[in-house]
Amino acid sequence: MKRLGLCRETAIRFASDRGGNFAIIVGLAIIPLLLAAGGVLDYANAEMIRRQVQASLDAAALEAAIAYRGGSRDSTDLTRKGEQMFIANFGDPGSHGVILSNFTVAADMATGAATASADVSVKNSFLSIVSLDTFNMTLSSTVSGGGRDLNLDIAMCIDATGSMGNTIAAVKVNALNFDKKLLAELEKRNRRVGNIRVRPIYFRDFSVERGGGIIDSGHFFALPDERGPYNSFVNVQVARGGGDEPESGLECLYQAMKSRWAKSDTSSSVYPIVAVWSDANHQPPGDPKSRTGGGEGYPEHMPATYSALKAVWSNPSVIDQDNKIFAYFGPGKNWTNLYGWDGFYNGGGLTNGADDMMRGLADAIAVKLPPIHVSR
């Protein structure tokens, strides 16, 4: 009984003692404070990892979209390419204290959009003390380039009169790698396409020239498969003749508009492009002297007025009205009569070299072509 009384007395004294309370309170309070500070560090680390994973998923989806645009329809191949790009950007997840699961890369065959997604668990260093072992999140990235495959049909009207030597030379230089150079320039502008067909048409002046070759037109060459024949066609062209201005630019434009364009369908969109390079005024529409001047190959049914020529450009049975592009490169002159046409792009002055030509063409195409788009 004596011992019990002593214990009771000691307990009462301890309970009523006010000495050292501050140290006890601080000791108890510092635990949640340390957990809160550690939690902030864990959260900051998880947020940093989230941004890195998201950027890597963007890259993976973009790589899959490029492969899809290139013709790959094998889901295993798309996933492999996406995984390789993810690892190249993020590295080994384990080295970051990250558990990555359910990583997938897939392309929607109807829309052409590529999606990369993953479940991510980031290990906590401090919050694990209170059984919050990881931050868990599901991340995804979708890349689309306008839906269907995007293909280009390019009819190039090239003034081949005596003063156009630089432009003729630029076409020849680009012939060997036309598609590669154009794709590279479009890539810089965040644009990607599938198939490219090119139709070169050279023009001079029906009002003064005699015989054939005043308009020398090829068919559409599918690149890169028909690079050899395309190269052979453009390499024999030389700048010659033409006399004084004006030249037969509108006749070439009309022939280009009447090209046998590929048609858009449920799986692809075709962009018909007429590009003109000239340093001279054009003959007026339907110029009588040009019609009867003795030159061979004058275009049949050539419109005799600007409005009639524009009506051809505006005819959906002739050229796709949604995707058409008319790009002009030159000093303007009386070509300004056509500047108000739908789909017109003023490329400015004539190019000074092969690279300038491809940059100008890519600029014109990028105005109409939808960019690759990343959504999360």
Structure tokens at 264: 């858009």
Q: Which among 330, 326, 332 is positioned nearest to 368, based on CA atoms? A: 326
Domain end among 144, 165, 197: 144
13 in any annotated domain: no
Q: Residue 43 belongs to a domain with what CATH number? A: 3.30.1300
109 in any annotated domain: yes
Select the highest-mean-pLDDT range: 66-80, 229-243, 347-361.
229-243
Please report, rounded to a whole number, the percentage of residues in the chain having pLDDT higher than 70. 83
Supply the range of the domain harboring residue 63.
20-144
| 371 confidence band (pLDDT: 50, 70, 90) | confident
Q: How many domains does the chain have?
A: 2
pLDDT of residue 199: 96
Same domain as 191, residue 136: no
Above 60 in pLDDT, residue 145?
no
Residue 212 neighbours by CB under 8 Å, 6+ apart: 295, 296, 297
Q: Are 325 and 271 in contact (CB under 8 A)?
A: yes
Mean pLDDT calculated for residue range 340-349: 92
Same domain as 168, residue 272: yes
| 373 confidence band (pLDDT: 50, 70, 90) | low
Above 50 in pLDDT, residue 66?
yes
pLDDT of residue 361: 92
pLDDT of residue 43: 83
295 in any annotated domain: yes
Same domain as 317, residue 180: yes
- Rounded to whole angstroms, what are the CA distances from 152 to 111, 167, 268, 273, 295? 18, 21, 10, 7, 32
11 in any annotated domain: no
Same domain as 127, residue 190: no
Question: What is the 8-class DSSP label of residue 267?
Answer: S
Domain end among 144, 168, 193: 144
Torsion, CA 294, CA 298, CA 300, CA 304, rounded to 10:
-90
5 in any annotated domain: no
| 354 confidence band (pLDDT: 50, 70, 90) | low
Mean pLDDT calculated for residue range 241-261: 90
| 41 confidence band (pLDDT: 50, 70, 90) | confident
Same domain as 153, residue 140: no
pLDDT in tens, 253-280: 999 999 999 998 866 789 999 999 999 9
Bridge partner list, 375? 142
**Residues 312, 318, 322, CA angle at the centre, nearest 5°?**
95
Structure tokens at 16: 């009523």
Structure tokens at 262: 């590929």
Q: Residue 171 belongs to a domain with what CATH number? A: 3.40.50.410
Q: What is the largest CA-CA distance in the chain?
A: 139
Mean pLDDT calculated for residue range 164-185: 88
Same domain as 322, residue 200: yes
pLDDT of residue 163: 86
Same domain as 350, residue 284: yes
C-alpha–C-alpha distance, residues 159 and 360, integer Å:
16
| 70 confidence band (pLDDT: 50, 70, 90) | low
pLDDT of residue 146: 45
Please report, rounded to a whole number, the percentage of residues in the chain having pLDDT higher than 90. 38
pLDDT of residue 23: 54
Same domain as 158, residue 119: no
Domain end among 144, 169, 198: 144
Same domain as 262, residue 326: yes
pLDDT in tens, 79-105: 888 888 888 888 887 777 788 889 888
Same domain as 219, residue 78: no
Above 90 in pLDDT, residue 286?
no
In the chain, beta strands by DSSP E: 98-107, 114-123, 134-144, 149-159, 196-203, 215-217, 221-223, 268-277, 325-329, 344-346, 373-375
**φ and ψ of 43, to 5 deg:** -65, -40
Same domain as 88, residue 103: yes
pLDDT in tens, 186-212: 989 888 888 999 999 999 999 888 778
pLDDT in tens, 51-63: 998 998 988 888 8
Mean pLDDT (the chain, rounded)? 83
| 345 confidence band (pLDDT: 50, 70, 90) | very high
Q: What single letter denotes the amino acid at residue 200?
A: P
Above 60 in pLDDT, residue 118?
yes
225 in any annotated domain: yes
376 in any annotated domain: no
Same domain as 170, residue 117: no
Burial class, 285, CB count within 10 angstroms (exposed 0-12 / middle 13-18 / buried 19+)? buried
12 in any annotated domain: no
| 158 confidence band (pLDDT: 50, 70, 90) | very high
- Rounded to whole angstroms, what are the CA distances from 202 to 158, 167, 313, 373, 375? 5, 11, 20, 37, 44
| 11 confidence band (pLDDT: 50, 70, 90) | very low
Strand-strand pairing, 344-346 and 325-329? parallel
